[in-house]
Each structure stands twice: as structure tokens, then as C-alpha cells.
């Protein structure tokens, strides 16, 4: 897991938050802003000062509140269950948020775009003993009649497939295991 750096809000100018950190965060990192943990992203850095674009209303925030660097960039999660969703600009499921908070989305509300409990039928295309690396297709999940998700080896991974099985899995389940060159 990425290291989480803590800082404090120094100034607020509309949707731009200026935060002070003891340690230097990274450009583009996702930030939890204030006590409500509003979503923001570092857009500029200058010697312990981070300029954070906040993607929600900053009304009510005040200097001294925490800013937490999650340690990862803002990313969009892709996978089975995304089709048919309404996704906002920071990859939150508007469909699920509506169910959670009603028509007026509460500040700080966050929900992953993919359902963590729904199971999907995985069909492997790779087999035990195959040598694979980042981006290689190892199987698929049919989400709709016309859309198939290609399941790939994660970034920075390579090795020989040790196990892979057809079956029903959630988006968090492991569908295969690699054995790397050093035996992991």
C-alpha cells in the first residue's frame, strides 16, 4: 500500500486548496481534503506546498483542516459492471450514489464504480504453464450480450501461470496465480 502523507489546509481560493506538507507529496496524487474527505488532486507542487484541485464544493472548509495524500494518482477503475452505469468525472458511480444519498449527492460521498459483491463468469483463455507478462490476455468476462471484458495480467507482472480456473468471481477475487522468475 502507498504511503499516506498528512498535511493541513493553509489557504482556500474557490476550488483550489493550498496545503502544507512536511514531506513532499507527488504531482497528480489523490488527496482527501478536510474533515469530510472531499476528493482532490495535486495539480502543482512547490517546496512542501501542494496546490490541490478539489472536485467538490469547498464551502465550509477552513485553514487547519487535514489534507491526506492517498499516495496514488486519481484512476478510473474498469471492469465488469461498468456498462449501464452513469459515472462522474472522478469515476464515481452516480447510479450507486443516487441509491446511497438520494438526488443530491452529499459532499465527501464516495463509492467504487464496480459492485464488489456481484459475481461474474470468468472464462480463461490462458492455461497453466503459459508464460505471460503485463497486458497479456488471460481470459474474459461477458458483461452484456455484445460486450466482453478482456482480463489481463496486471502492470509490472510476468511469470508462468501456476493456476487459473473458470468460475464465478467478484471483481476482487483472484482468477489466476503467477509464479515469477524468483519463485514468488
> What does pLDDT average to in each consecutive run of 10 residues of the chain (184 residues)?
79 96 90 93 92 93 94 86 83 81 80 89 97 96 94 93 96 93 75
Q: Which three cell numbers stand for residue 32?
A: 482527501
Contact 148, 142 (CB under 8 A): yes
Handedness of CA 6, 12, 14, 18 (dihedral sign): negative
What is the per-residue pLDDT for 125? 97
pTM: 0.72
What is the per-residue pLDDT for 3? 62
Q: Looking at the domain that runs over 5-73, which CATH code has it been given?
A: 2.40.30.20
Q: How far apart are CA 92 and CA 94, in angstroms?
A: 6
Contact 52, 41 (CB under 8 A): yes
DSSP class of residue 116 equals S
pLDDT digits (tens, 9 = 90+) for 6-15: 899 999 999 9
Strand order in the sheet with 158-164: 131-133, 158-164, 176-179
Q: Distances from the Cα of 142 to the Cαs of 32, 104, 119, 121, 146, in angstroms? A: 35, 33, 12, 7, 8
Residue whose cell numbers read 496465480: 177
Domain residue spans of the chain: 5-73, 76-115, 120-179
How many Cα atoms are found within 13 Å in the side-chain-facing hemisphere of 99?
A: 8
Q: Which CATH architecture has domain 120-179?
A: Beta Barrel (2.40)
Q: How far apart are CA 136 and CA 112, in angstroms?
A: 25
Q: Which three cell numbers stand for residue 120?
A: 461474474
Q: Can you spell out the DSSP letters for 24-66?
A: ---TTEEEEETTTTEEEEEEEEETTEEEEEESS--TT--TT-E
Q: How far apart are CA 89 and CA 80, in angstroms?
A: 19
Amino acid at each position: 500500500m502507498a504511503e499516506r502523507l498528512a498535511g493541513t489546509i493553509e489557504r482556500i481560493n474557490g476550488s483550489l486548496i493550498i496545503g502544507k506538507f512536511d514531506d513532499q507529496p507527488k504531482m497528480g496524487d489523490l488527496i482527501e481534503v478536510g474533515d469530510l474527505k472531499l476528493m482532490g488532486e495535486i495539480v502543482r507542487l512547490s517546496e512542501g506546498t501542494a496546490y490541490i484541485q478539489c472536485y467538490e464544493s469547498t464551502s465550509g472548509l477552513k485553514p487547519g483542516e487535514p489534507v491526506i495524500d492517498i499516495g496514488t494518482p486519481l484512476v478510473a477503475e474498469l471492469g465488469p459492471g461498468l456498462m449501464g452505469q452513469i459515472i462522474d468525472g472522478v469515476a464515481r458511480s452516480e447510479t450507486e450514489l443516487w441509491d446511497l444519498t438520494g438526488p443530491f449527492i452529499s459532499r465527501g460521498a464516495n463509492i467504487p464504480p464496480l459492485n464488489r459483491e456481484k459475481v461474474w463468469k470468468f472464462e480463461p483463455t490462458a492455461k497453466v504453464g503459459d508464460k505471460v507478462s503485463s497486458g497479456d490476455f488471460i481470459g474474459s468476462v461477458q458483461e452484456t450480450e455484445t460486450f466482453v471484458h478482456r482480463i489481463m495480467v496486471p502492470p509490472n507482472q510476468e511469470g508462468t501461470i501456476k493456476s487459473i480456473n473458470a468460475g464465478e468471481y467478484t471483481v476482487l477475487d483472484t482468477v489466476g496465480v503467477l509464479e515469477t522468475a524468483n519463485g514468488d
